[in-house]
Amino acid sequence: MNNHSLDHGLSKVIMPNKAAIYVRWSTDEQTDGNTLSIQLGACNHYLKSQGWQVNENLVYIDEGCSGGNLDRPAMKKLRRDVKKGLIDCVIIWKIDRLSRSIVDTVDLVLNEWKYYCYVKSVNEPFDTSTPMGMMVLTLLASFAQMERESIFLRTFSGRVKSIEERGKSPGIRMPYGYKKGDERGTFKIIENEAEIVRRIFKEYIDGDGIYAITYRLNEEGIPSRTGKSWSKDTLSKMIANPIYTGKLIWGKMQNNPKRKMEGEKRRLHRDNPIIRQLSEDVLKPIISKEDFEKACEIRKSRNVFEHKKTSGRIFDSPNLLAGLLRCKKCGSSMYVYKRTNSVYTYYACRGHREKGVSFCDSGYIREEDVNQLVVAEVKKTFLTGETNLLEIISERYDTTLRGLQLAQTSLEAKLKQLDAEYAKVFKDYRKVDGGISAEDFNVIKADITQERNEVNRKLESCKEEYEAQTSKGIDASEIIAFSQSLTIWDELTFSEQKRLLYKWIDRIELNKNKGRFEKFQIKIRFQSMLEDTEEAI
């Protein structure tokens, strides 16, 4: 919360007919003078004293409602109306009328309403249109943050304690593979489910994609926890859940305070969740730490690939080249197509499908023909003995990196130069006499800032590219390894083949006219440091 300045973020004139009154009164407060009529009267009085009008449509009364949460009819309507822009200012008798919870109050005033309306309390120096009022609020906010954290810590330590002392149930949903143990707060392995968990991890580590594993589980009719079919989501979460190594996580997610304002995600990932290894008599691991870490590594490495290619699902697709293929005629990506009753799968142009034949008249191409040709081409490129492919590649690689380094150095120099320029102009501007005018200074400042941003952008992309190139880490030994795997290509698993092709090929262009007997051409574009190859069938 400390990133909130005292600036409200809202700067508007309160329209005389857009001031609202909110009143809340709960039955257990009868005696403390907060009665409805007193509150209402005071708010009306205050409103008039400001020269505003009482707008009957903007008086919100929650009778007999506690302030424990915001789930009150009039409060709900008030929040809707604020968002509609009907209200410039909300007047309350005391802050606790909004809510008894500091957290809720702060979320409401500082987040949800920040850009919509002010809040003024009749009885306290709480007026968010003034710096003083904002300071009070900021103070409140820091208390609210403390309260949030202590709630979190209380919950967390409570849960750990309950599990370790086995006094209470741990209060989490039992993950697939486990059920509640005989003693409260313990976990017990369900052996046939644990077998499936082990299988999923094994297949994943052996190179299968989540999609492929999900597909097979469903094909074999193995039920999930809910008795329904498996989803990719469930499997992705399982692969990433350290509970299978005996660890519990708390506080992975937190509520997003901004969600009401900007329609963002309701929950956010917390930066540093608390992870606790539990003893084996509480929770027995199903997966070894080593295997879990291997799965993590694979997940990370696939993310790198997926980031590069357009679709995140490519690795899971059962088609060897899906995602690498582009239509030469129109540049669209290709999709996989299977006619009903046909044994063959085809690659076809997405542009043709979506925009019609006038946009692209590319024809269907049998998947296995393309696959065969591509593999043959790749083999030819890497295995035709004498070419000094290695030399060519490493030279290009070095040149690329050197070029990027040079660019980076010169961009950094440019930044320094701009900073120096700015410092000089600023000094001139600050001179009592003979400096430059404020107007000139502002123009120059804007120019420099713009140029600085531009240079910064270039520098960033330069760094990114460098990172990408080095992380690709294509070196001689890898090329040799790749050549060797090409010689035993048919012995590799599908996933291995696919991973290799994705590593070395940037994209493949396909060209085919309509008509069953038309020939097609391919052009393979290898990753930047390799030559392209072109072939027809």
Q: Considering only residues 486-505, where is the footprint of Zn ion by CB under 5 A? A: none
Closer of 55 and 521 to Zn ion (Cβ): 521
Which residue's CB is nearer to Zn ion, number 330 or number 336? 330
| C-alpha–C-alpha distance, residues 198 and 127, integer Å | 60
Binding to Zn ion, residues 410-449 (CB under 5 A): none
Q: Kindly report the backbone phi and psi dihedral angles of residue 450, in degrees, each rounded to the nearest multiple of 5, phi listed first.
A: -60, -45
Q: Where are the beta strands (DSSP E) in 40-104?
A: 59-63, 89-92
> Does residue 360 belong to the site contacting Zn ion (CB under 5 A)?
yes
Which residues in 19-78 contact Zn ion (CB under 5 A)?
Answer: none
Cβ 308 to Zn ion shortest distance, Å: 22
Count of residues engaged in binding Zn ion, rule: CB under 5 A: 8
The interface with Zn ion within residues 264-303 (CB under 5 A) comprises: none
Q: Which stretch in 61-69, 145-153, 319-327, 457-465 sits in contact with Zn ion by CB under 5 A?
A: 319-327
**Cβ 504 to Zn ion shortest distance, Å:** 25
DSSP summary character for residue 387: S
Q: Which of 105, 234, 241, 362 binds Zn ion (CB under 5 A)?
A: 362
Binding-site string for Zn ion from residue 337 to residue 356, where x marks contact by CB under 5 A and - marks none: ------------x-x-----
Among 40, 54, 222, 330, indicate the residue that binds Zn ion (CB under 5 A).
Answer: 330
77-93 burial code (b ≥16 CB/10 A, e <16): ebbebbeeebbbbbbbb
With contacts defined by CB under 5 A, name the span among 151-159, 170-178, 324-332, 424-432 that binds Zn ion: 324-332
Q: Which stretch binds Zn ion (CB under 5 A): 12-20, 219-227, 328-336, 425-433?
A: 328-336
Q: Which is nearer to Zn ion, 320 or 327 (CB)?
A: 327
User: What tokens does 417 get?
Assistant: 């130069």
Nearer to Zn ion, 327 or 393 (CB): 327
Q: Contact at 8 Å (CB) between 97 and 67? A: yes
Instruction: Kindly state the smallest distance separating residue 363's Cβ from Zn ion, in Å.
Output: 10
* Segment interacting with Zn ion (CB under 5 A) among 160-168, 322-330, 436-444, 527-535: 322-330
Nearest approach in angstroms of CB 514 to Zn ion is 11
Q: What DSSP character marks residue 107? A: I
Nearer to Zn ion, 72 or 352 (CB): 352
Segment near Zn ion (CB under 5 A); pick from 203-211, 361-369, 468-476, 526-534:
361-369
- Mark out the alpha helices in 275-388 (DSSP H runs): 289-308, 350-355, 367-383
DSSP state of 482: H
**What is the spatial distance between Cα 352 and Cα 133, in angstroms, rounded to a whole number?**
62
CA dihedral sign of residues 211, 217, 220, 225: negative
CA separation for the pair 97, 102 (Å, rounded): 11
Spatial separation of the C-alpha atoms in residues 407 and 323, rounded to whole Å: 32
Q: What is the rounded distance in angstroms from the CA atom of residue 437 to the CA atom of residue 473?
A: 53
Stretch that binds Zn ion, among 53-61, 329-337, 492-500, 523-531 (CB under 5 A): 329-337
Kindly name the residue from 26, 101, 317, 485 that is annotated as catalytic.
26
Q: How far is the CB of 371 from Zn ion (least distance, A)?
A: 19
Neighbours of 373 (CB within 10 A): 20
Pick 39 or 333: Cβ nearer Zn ion: 333
Nearer to Zn ion, 84 or 516 (CB): 516
Cα–Cα dist 471/526, whole Å: 17
Q: Transcribe 237-270 into DSSP letters.
A: HHHT-GGGGTEEEE--EEE-TTHHHH---SEEE-
Is 363 a binding residue for Zn ion by CB under 5 A? The answer is: no
Return the residue of 18, 72, 329, 512 that touches Zn ion, per CB under 5 A.
329
CB of 315 vs Zn ion, minimal distance in Å:
24
CB of 199 to Zn ion, least distance (A): 41
Instruction: Confirm or reject binding of residue 512 to Zn ion (CB under 5 A).
Output: no
Q: Min. distance of Cβ 332 from Zn ion in angstroms?
A: 5
Q: Can you read off the two tokens belonging to residue 452?
A: 């600085």
What angle separates helix 438-472 from helix 389-430, to the nearest 10 degrees?
A: 160
> How many whole angstroms separate alpha carbon 283 and alpha carbon 451?
58
Q: How far from the centroid of its chain's Cα atoms is residue 245's Cα?
A: 26
Both structure tokens of 47? 């409103």
Q: What is the spatial distance between Cα 178 and Cα 278, in angstroms, rounded to a whole number?
A: 14
Within 115-134, the residues that bind Zn ion by CB under 5 A are none
Active-site residue, 157 included: no
Q: Which is nearer to Zn ion, 170 or 363 (CB)?
A: 363
Radius of gyration of the chain (CA): 33
**Backbone φ, ψ for residue 69 (5° rounding):** -145, -175
* Among the residue ranges 104-112, 141-149, 326-334, 340-348, the one whose residues contact Zn ion (CB under 5 A): 326-334
Nearer to Zn ion, 91 or 360 (CB): 360
**Angle, helices 191-205/289-308, rounded to nearest 10 degrees:** 50
The amino acid occupying position 225 is R
Residue with Cβ nearer Zn ion (129 or 511) = 511
Smallest gap, in angstroms, from Cβ of residue 520 to Zn ion?
A: 12
With binding defined as CB under 5 A, does residue 327 bind Zn ion? yes
- Smallest separation (angstroms) from Zn ion to the CB of 330: 3
**Residue 76 DSSP class:** H
- The two tokens of residue 109 are 């005033």
User: What residue ranges bind Zn ion (CB under 5 A)?
Assistant: 327, 329-330, 332, 349, 351, 360, 362
**Which residues does the annotation mark as catalytic?**
26
